[in-house]
């Protein structure tokens, strides 16, 4: 079955530093989505990005489909960026989006 690996598992930054989160998957993704989850909060979609590069604010997602990887770049991190970031992918027309184990980000003031 499809597998999703996220790295690093955890990351600690000082406010203002940049972060690069990685997502690798075992099969070609036709659906690829990045989520943010605040502790105790709901999953919020950041990007739907099965290929190419997308930007919103301080966030950039880049997916290289044929290399089966995606990244999430956070520039000038803020304490409010603290939480867990997940990527999820699905292959073909299946209805089983698979999640990685997430990256836990802590940003200190």
Partner 1 sequence: ETAVFQTPNYHVTQVGNEVSFNCKQTLGHDTMYWYKQDSKKLLKIMFSYNNKQLIVNETVPRRFSPQSSDKAHLNLRIKSVEPEDSAVYLCASSSRDRNTLYFGAGTRLSVL
Report the interface residues with partner 1, using CB under 8 A: 30-31, 33, 35, 37, 41-45, 48, 50, 84, 86, 88, 90, 94-99, 101-102
Is residue 31 classed as helix, strand or coil in its secondary structure? strand
**Cα–Cα distance for residue pair 82/2, rounded to 1 Å:** 28
Query: Among positive and negative, which fits the CA dihedral 25, 46, 109, 106?
Result: negative
Nearer to partner 1, 9 or 12 (CB): 9
Q: Which is nearer to partner 1, 75 or 104 (by Cβ)?
A: 104
Show the CA angle centred on residue 96, arms to residues 92 and 99, nearest 5°: 110
In this complex, which beta carbon is closest to partner 1, that of residue 39 or of residue 109?
A: 39
Residue 69 Cβ vs partner 1, minimum distance, rounded to whole Å: 19
Q: Cβ of residue 23: shortest distance to partner 1, in angstroms?
A: 14
Q: How far is the CB of 40 from partner 1 (least distance, A)?
A: 9
Task: Give the nearest distance from C-beta 16 to partner 1 in angstroms.
Answer: 26
| Smaller CB separation from partner 1, 60 or 102 | 102
Give the chain's length: 109
d(CA 21, CA 8): 7
* Separation CA 94–CA 103 (nearest Å): 25
């Amino acid at each position: 079955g499809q597998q999703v690996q996220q790295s690093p598992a955890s990351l600690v930054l000082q406010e203002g530093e940049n972060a690069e989160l990685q997502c690798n998957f075992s099969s070609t993704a036709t659906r690829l989505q990045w989520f943010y989850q605040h502790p105790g909060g709901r999953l919020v979609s950041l990007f739907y990005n099965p290929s190419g590069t997308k930007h919103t604010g301080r966030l950039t997602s880049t997916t290289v489909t044929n290399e089966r990887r995606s990244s999430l770049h956070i520039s000038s991190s803020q304490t409010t960026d603290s939480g867990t970031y997940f990527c999820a992918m699905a292959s073909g027309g299946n209805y089983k989006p698979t999640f990685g184990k997430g990256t836990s980000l802590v940003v200190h003031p």
